[in-house]
Each structure stands twice: as structure tokens, then as C-alpha cells.
A and B are shown apart, each in its own frame.
Chain A
Amino acid sequence: MTAVEIAADVRAGRRSAREVVEAHLETIAAREQEVHAFNLVLHADALGAADVIDRRVAAGDDPGPLAGVPIALKDNLATRGIPTTCGSRILDGWRPPYDATVVTRLREAGAVIVGKTNMDEFAMGSSTENSAFGPTRNPHDPSRVPGGSSGGSAAAVAAGFVPLALGSDTGGSIRQPAALCGVVGMKPTYGVVSRYGLVAFASSLDQIGPLAATVADAAALLEVIGGHDPLDSTSIAGPAPRVRGVLDDGVEGLRVGVVRELTGGLDPDVAARLNEAAAALAGAGAKVDDASVPSVGLGLSAYYLIATAEASSNLARYDGVRYGLRVDAEDVTAMYGATRAAGFGAEVKRRIMLGTYALSAGYYDAYYGQAQRVRTLLIRDFEAAYAQFDLLLSATSPTTAFPLGAKSDDPLAMYLSDVCTIPSNLAGHPAASVPFGTGDDGMPVGIQLYAPALGEPVLFRAAAALERSAPR
């Protein structure tokens, strides 16, 4: 059942929230050991929350738009009193004293939080192999990765553990695992969803967004979590984008551009699905043409300077002084070193070093400064493209899900997984990945739609159309 169906049934009293949650917990029990989507499953809390919803329904109170819908949260979203690990040993034992804004909004909307999902440590990775708690596996083929860094959330939806999940997307961490797991994943415009309570990786790029089995479910979730939050200074004024009502509007007359610069490095089967998706949209009435965003290829390099620079600062606070892991040593400086050496994994250390270097005296202008100029250039190129097109189209990932370990020893190959998704983070624009058929290996392929800032309505319109025309 979809989230929309569950909420309708629970709100109408046709099904109890407890029934729904129990059924999902059973599905989790049956396959979680194989998939390892979760770092923590909240059995008792979820059933307790379901009972509260059922009592509200019985009392005739409005139980909220997501009443009784089980949801999984990426483990970098702060949950009051519940461990929040970011897939890292360094947060060992930390229980946040507060809920992230999105968590508060979910609770108010009647959603039932069933667990915290596995992720690449501090969201740094594209395979969920960088978790301190072991990798998550792709439910379509457990020998393959689910993508990352929100791999646990994508796998949880793909395995039917939950109809909805939240991920975070700094360079593609929602869309790429959604593509590899065959689910819908969406990164909102920067500032549409509050980051308050999202443990920061790269503050100017991070956005929370929905993962779901259907576009309609993703739309319902975005409407709940979006909208201004006074606790986040970068939050955009105004309510959440209205996206549920546009899903049946079709793409008749929309101008869709296929980004030429992003078609190069694709696997042939992925390229074939991209062409078929473009043809499907054209068949549904869209005007499809080639588009050019000349600087899009510079995105990857700019991203790995900006994201690592911000991360080197954001992750400084994990120093053993106040919370999480502490490895004692003879003085404060030695304690810092011992704690961080033991607490962080290799990829996190690599990125902290890269970012520290990029910000160092004498290098700032050549690296961080230059990357910011590329970012400005990229935004200008997108603006030019959006003068001609309502939407842009590309593959989400150059490949389908790869086997565990295939890229673990080659960070640069792993970084290339995000080449198609990174540009929208740098520009702050919304983008969504929609499942569209499978590759030669039978694994899911995701097609990505880009829209200009605050273009969520047109993005969801086209995503729903693409979903309808996808091969079954």
C-alpha cells in the first residue's frame, strides 16, 4: 500500500495505525538481517505512536495528513532521546535532547517513526559502505550496494519496510540511492526544507528530502516537511510548495531539455533508458530537445572543494570534550587526536584533510574561492538553460547498482557516481529521480528531472508523468 492509501484508510477508520505498523514491522523482521537498512528499529515507540493515532481517530480528532504512515529517518536527523549516529563511532552514545524540525512536523502530521536508517558516515559516500555499522545491501540484489549516502532509507523503501523515508542530499545522496534501489527520491530547492536538526555535512549544499515508492507519496511527504522554519536562517519564507494537486496535470507543452554534457559517461543501458524517457515525455506532449549547460562538467571538482571545506569545519566539534566518543590521552590536544583517529572512518578523514587544505592560508583563493566562482558560473549557465526550458533531463547515476566492494578502493571512481546529481546541489535547485526500467543486469535505472529554484510544482508534474510512462 502507498502512504497516501494508508493515510486515507487510517483517517477514515478503515484500518488501524497499529495494524499498519505491525505489518511493516513484520516485513522488517523478515528481511532486515539480509538488507541491514536500519541502525535502529523503534518497535515499542512505533507501536505506542500508532496507538496514539488510533485514539485520536476514535475520538474524532484530526490525526494529520500522514496518519499511521510508517516512516524511516536517515540517522543524521536529530531525534529527541533516540540515538543519532550519522553512521559514525564518534557519536557513540549521543542522544540528542531535541527533535529536528522535520521530525517535529512528521510527528504532528501523524507519521509513525519506525527507525533510523543506515548511511555512509556523515553522509560521505555513494554506496553506504562507509558506515561504521556495516554496509546496507540492495534489496533487488543483496550482492550489490544500495547507493548512498541515504542507502538505508532507499533500501527500506525498496524492501517494503516503509512506504516513506527521509534522506539528506548534499551531492546526490537521496537521488542516487533512489535510482539504484528503484524508488522515487527528491531533493528540494535549498531552503525549502529546514535543516534544523540535520547533522551538517556541507551546510550550503545539504537538503533533506523524501524517498518513496511513488511520486504521489513523495509529494505528500514534501508538503508535510517543507515550509519556512524560523530556526534555520537559510530557510525560505513561505509555505511548503504545493505539489500534490499538480500530479495529474501532464506535460503537454512543457519544454524539456536533455543535458548534452551529462550524456557522455553513461553506461549504454542507462543511456538507452534516458533516451526512452525523453521519448516517453515527448509522447506525452512535452517538447523535448537537447540542452546545454556548459560548465556542468566542472561541478564535480567544485563540489569536492566546497563540500570538503565546509565539512572540515562542521566536523571539528567532534572532539571528545562534550559528547560522543572520547579516547583519553595525556593532554587535550592528544585527546583530540586520539578521539578523532578512533572515531572517524577513512573517507571522513580523507575529506576533512582535503577541506582543511582547501581553506588553508595561501590556498583559499586557488581552491575554495575558485570553486565558489565555478558555482556562480554554473548558476548562470542553468539560468540561461531555463530561459529555453521548463525542465532539464539526465540520468541520475551513470551506472546501475554495483557490487559491494567494487569501488571501495577507488575514491575517485566512487566520486564519479555523483557527477549527474551534484550540479543541482551547487545551484540550489530542486531535482528528482524517478525509476524508469532496468539495466542489462536487471537492476533499476533512475531518470533525473531538474527544475529551476522553487520549481517543485513543475518538477512533480513531470515526475508523475514520467512515472506513468515508465516500463513495468
Chain B
Amino acid sequence: MTDVAGWETVIGLEVHCELATATKLFCGCPNVFGDEPNTNVCPVCLGLPGSLPVLNRRSVELAMAVGTALHCEVRPSVFHRKNYFYPDMPKDYQVSQYDQPINVGGHLDLPDGTRIGVTRAHMEEDTGKTTHVGESGRIHGADYALVDYNRAGVPLVEIVSEPDIRSADEARAYVNELRAILVAIGASDARMEEGSLRIDANVSVRPAGSSALGTRAEIKNLNSVRSLGRAVDYEVRRQIGLLEAGDKVVQETRHWNEDAGRTSSMRSKEEAYDYRYFPEPDLVPLAPSDRWRDAVAAGLPALPADRRRLLAAAAGVAADHQAVVTVVALGLDDLVTAAVAGGADPRLALNRAANEVAAAHVAPADVDGAAFTTVLVMEGDGRLTSTQAKQVLADVLAGGGGDPVAIARARGFEALGADALTGAVDQVVADNPGEWARFKEGEAKLAGFFVGKVMAATQGRADGRAVTARLRELAAANR
């Protein structure tokens, strides 16, 4: 646990998200991950002398969509230059938004209902990517660095939370929820492993009950949600350790080392850059019309929180039920609601989606919804046993679809017809008169004995629930 008794953890997250545009923020170069280095570049994104930026309209739309989905006010904004020298930044300044960002003052609700404030979500350009070759990372001897500018100029939205997050678990939940929103609205593929979602965490601690903020450390290089949780846990313990020993926490930027499981100091407040922000004179202020903003808002699909509510209602469970969270996160909620509409049992549909479908790692679009529904209906009405249904569903998912009835028949899962089942039950009752007598006297647990015998006699093709029903029917008639 992160909370050591007597201390409260305070976390604010800065999430950089690459927008899923076809082209870069200020030029027509493709915005694609994983191409040959330095192939998606031009005079503009290389910052060549004389080149000028032209703002990508689609990136503005996606940034407005992010802001709207996070309940921000979408406002007129101004691009600034953030000046500092770094080899992967072609102009040695980054075009970003400073004191007039496009989105301000929103919030994000975690699945359990906790509300996290969103300070702002502003637009900026990404940098290139430096690969240091050799030990020291210096440009002499055998050591050198390679820079790939394909990423330079890719549009980003930086989403800054309020310091409202109180634990590593909440931090993870925030990122998971934010990622679900970004994917749902088509703003980003939000893949941390490809760097299209990147997180910096501002972490501080304070005595429980205090309302003053402690001195924070900013942690960089968090490459997964898991790293985020580990790094926060480590940093909280480190800071509490310092404070309990009578030391001070230093305001600084710290680097998370995944292998060592530790954060270490990168640069102190005194070494921090003076970015010399000033309005970018090569761009004009951005003032989206009301009509444009309204069109973006109207075009937003249902958000994960709304979808969880709908799904939970359809399945008759609470909105933060784990299966509901999982199904919505994977985008399988339409599959479940369609199955329910098609006559499937709601809880069964939810659980099969959250477990079997999720485990198959199939994209929602590639799941044959009609077949999914049919399998669940067959299971529901006893034509397939639970075990058989899972097997048929696995075949449907692996084969990209198919006719469950045919699959069941091919596997010999054709459920017994009502007559055959009745005959099999009657035969087993007749063969075991002693047990039958005790069952009739009220020894209900013997139902399992009879079901087992019927299953053995039918090579598992009988539906357990139908067998139990027939047993009760016989017992009532013979009493």
C-alpha cells in the first residue's frame, strides 16, 4: 500500500497523447509510427531555414473533441514558442500553448465515481526521437546519437490533471479511463508501448488532514500503467522516508528506472530551463467558431462512463462491476447489448464477453455478433451445456465467425432432444431405485448423483438443468 499511516499522497498527472491525424500538426507529412527513420520529413517539420507552419485543421478538431469529452471549456487559444536547445527538436523551440490553451477546466470521473479535475488540455508539437549509441551519450570517440525526425511535428494534446489523485491505484485508474476515452472518441490510439500516450507524474506527500501541498517531484520515463503504479509507490515511500527522517523533499525532475525499480534525480529546480515563452509569430490566434465547436461536440460518440451505465443497466449489475468495466474498455459492450436484445441471458452475455471473448484477444469488429448471440441462446435454452458452449464460442472466435449450430453438430454437441433426455433420465432412475427413494424422501443433494449418471449415459450431451428439471418432475409425480 502506498499510504503509510499518517500521510496522504497527492498526485497530478500530465499525459501527452499523440492525435490520430493522417498528417502532422504543421505540415503534410504522414503521421505514422514505425516507418524507416527520417522518411516522413519535409522542410517544415525539419525546421529548415525559411519554412513556416500551417495548422492542421483535423488536429484542432481532435483537440476540441478531447476537451469536450473531458468536460472542459473549449476556448480561443494562442500558440507560443517554448525555447530550449535539444537535438531532437529541429527548431530548438517547441510550438505549444501556454497561457491561453484551447481546453480548460474539465474533469474525468473514475469508474468508482471519484472525480479528478482536469486543469487543461492544450495542443503542441511532438519532438523527434534520439537514440544514444554508446555508454556516455556524448558526441565523441565511438559514442554518438541518432535522431529520427519522423515524430517531429506530430500533433499532441497534453492533458494536465489537478492534484486530485490520492493513490497509485487511482493514478492507474485515471490513466486507464483517460485512455478509454481517447480511444472511444477516435482522438488517439493511446498506445503507451508505441509512445502515443506518455505520462509524467507529479508526486508529493503531506501529513494526513493537511490541506497544504507538499513539495513535489516530477517523475518522467513512465512507459506503462504498471510503471506508473510502481514509480508512485516507490516515490511516496522515498518522500515519506525523507520527511520522517527530518529531511526535506527537493523540488526536482526524477527519472524512473524500470529495472532498478527506483527514481533518481534528473535536474533540480535551479537547473530548470527558462523557456522564454512568447507568442508564435508564424501562426495566427486560433478561434474556433461556435458552430465548429458544436459540430465537434455533436459528433462525439458515447463515452465510456455512459456506456458502462447502459451496459450495467442491461446486465442488471452495478456500473463499476469489473466485467462491465472490462467489456467497455475492450469495446465489447455493443456485442453484449446486441446479444441481450437477441434473447441471450444478460449476465451470461456479460460474463462470456468479459472472460472468453476478452481472453481471445479479438478486435471487437472481428467478433461475429450473430454467432455470439446464437451460442448464448443455445446455452440458455439447454441445447448446449456450459462446457460445450465455451468450446463452440472458442471455435467461433478462432475462426472469425461460423454457424454455432453446425459447429456444435460437428463436435457431436447436438443436445439431446426432449424425448431422448426424458428417456435417459427415466432409465437412470429405474436403474438406481435405492438412491431414487432417498431423493424422493428429500435428500436433494442426490440430484448431482443422477445428473452425473445421465451425463455418463449420454456422453455429456444432456443439459444439467434440464436433467434436474425432469428429476423434480418425476419426484413430484411419484410422491
- The chain A residues found within 8 Å of chain B, CB to CB, are 76-78, 84, 86, 91, 94, 96-98, 100, 195-200, 202-204, 230-234, 309-310, 312-313, 316-317, 319, 321-323, 328-333, 335-336, 356, 359-361, 364, 368
CA distance A361 to B274 in the complex (A): 6
**B278 contacts partner chain A, Cβ-Cβ < 8 Å:** yes
**B401 contacts partner chain A, Cβ-Cβ < 8 Å:** no
Take A233-B283, A322-B46 as given contacts and tell me if A331 and B139 are in contact as well, using a CB distance cutoff of 8 Å. yes
Instruction: Give the chain A neighbours of B91 by CB distance below 8 A.
Output: 316-317
Contact A195–B54 (Cβ < 8 Å): no
Q: Please list 14 pairs of residues, one from A and one from B, whose beta carbons are closer than 8 Å in the complex, sorted by A's number.
A: A98-B43, A198-B50, A199-B50, A233-B283, A312-B83, A312-B276, A317-B47, A328-B139, A332-B139, A335-B139, A356-B276, A359-B277, A360-B276, A364-B277
Distance from B393 Cβ to chain A, minimum over Cβ atoms (Å): 54
CA distance A94 to B43 in the complex (A): 13
CA distance A234 to B55 in the complex (A): 11
Distance from A318 Cβ to chain B, minimum over Cβ atoms (Å): 8
Name the residue of chain B whose CB is nearest to the CB of A84.
B49
Take A317-B91, A335-B139 as given contacts and tell me if A359 and B54 are in contact as well, using a CB distance cutoff of 8 Å. no
Q: Which of A91, A100, A230, A321 has most chain B Cβ within 10 Å?
A: A321
Contact B50–A200 (Cβ < 8 Å): yes
Contact A97–B43 (Cβ < 8 Å): yes
**B261 contacts partner chain A, Cβ-Cβ < 8 Å:** no
Chain B 244-278: CB-based contact to A (< 8 A → 1; otherwise 0): 00000000000000000000000000000010111
Contact A331–B140 (Cβ < 8 Å): yes
Distance from B60 Cβ to chain A, minimum over Cβ atoms (Å): 13
Contact B140–A94 (Cβ < 8 Å): no
Contact A332–B138 (Cβ < 8 Å): yes
Contact A233–B284 (Cβ < 8 Å): yes
Contact B83–A231 (Cβ < 8 Å): no
Query: By the criterion of a CB under 8 Å from any partner CB, how many residues of chain B are at the interface?
Result: 32
If A96-B49, A199-B50, A332-B145 are given as contacts, then 17 extra A-B residue pairs at C-beta distance below 8 Å, sorted by A number, are A91-B49, A196-B52, A200-B282, A202-B281, A232-B52, A233-B53, A233-B55, A317-B47, A317-B49, A317-B92, A328-B139, A329-B139, A330-B140, A332-B138, A335-B139, A360-B276, A368-B278
Instruction: Give the chain A neighbours of B446 by CB distance below 8 A.
Output: none
Instruction: Give the chain B neighbours of A329 by CB distance below 8 A.
Output: 139-140
Instruction: Give the chain A neighbours of B50 by CB distance below 8 A.
Output: 76-78, 84, 96, 100, 196-200
CA distance A322 to B145 in the complex (A): 12
**B48 contacts partner chain A, Cβ-Cβ < 8 Å:** yes
Instruction: Give the chain A neighbours of B278 by CB distance below 8 A.
Output: 309-310, 313, 359, 364, 368
Total residue contacts A-B, CB cutoff 8 A: 111
**B341 contacts partner chain A, Cβ-Cβ < 8 Å:** no
Instruction: Give the chain B neighbours of A77 by CB distance below 8 A.
Output: 50
Contact B93–A321 (Cβ < 8 Å): no
CA distance A206 to B277 in the complex (A): 20
Take A203-B282, A204-B281, A330-B140 as given contacts and tell me if A316 and B83 are in contact as well, using a CB distance cutoff of 8 Å. yes
Distance from A15 Cβ to chain B, minimum over Cβ atoms (Å): 34
Contact A331–B81 (Cβ < 8 Å): no
CA distance A364 to B140 in the complex (A): 37
Take A231-B54, A316-B91, A317-B92 as given contacts and tell me if A360 and B47 are in contact as well, using a CB distance cutoff of 8 Å. no
Take A94-B49, A233-B54, A233-B282 as given contacts and tell me if A331 and B138 are in contact as well, using a CB distance cutoff of 8 Å. yes
Instruction: Give the chain A neighbours of B87 by CB distance below 8 A.
Output: 319, 321, 332
Q: Which of B43, B48, B140, B277 has most chain A Cβ within 10 Å?
A: B48
CA distance A198 to B49 in the complex (A): 8
A230's partner among B54, B92, B281, B284 (CB-CB below 8 A) is B54
Instruction: Give the chain B neighbours of A196 by CB distance below 8 A.
Output: 50-52
**B292 contacts partner chain A, Cβ-Cβ < 8 Å:** no
**B90 contacts partner chain A, Cβ-Cβ < 8 Å:** yes
Name the residue of chain B whose CB is nearest to the CB of A356.
B276
CA distance A202 to B140 in the complex (A): 35
CA distance A309 to B280 in the complex (A): 11
**B85 contacts partner chain A, Cβ-Cβ < 8 Å:** yes
Instruction: Give the chain A neighbours of B276 by CB distance below 8 A.
Output: 312-313, 356, 359-361, 364
**B313 contacts partner chain A, Cβ-Cβ < 8 Å:** no
Name the residue of chain A whose CB is nearest to the CB of B87.
A321
Instruction: Give the chain B neighbours of A364 by CB distance below 8 A.
Output: 276-278
CA distance A78 to B47 in the complex (A): 13
CA distance A138 to B123 in the complex (A): 49
Distance from A6 Cβ to chain B, minimum over Cβ atoms (Å): 28
Contact B48–A323 (Cβ < 8 Å): yes
Instruction: Give the chain A neighbours of B281 by CB distance below 8 A.
Output: 202-204, 234, 310
Distance from B55 Cβ to chain A, minimum over Cβ atoms (Å): 7
Instruction: Give the chain A neighbours of B52 by CB distance below 8 A.
Output: 195-196, 231-233
Name the residue of chain B whose CB is nearest to the CB of A94.
B49
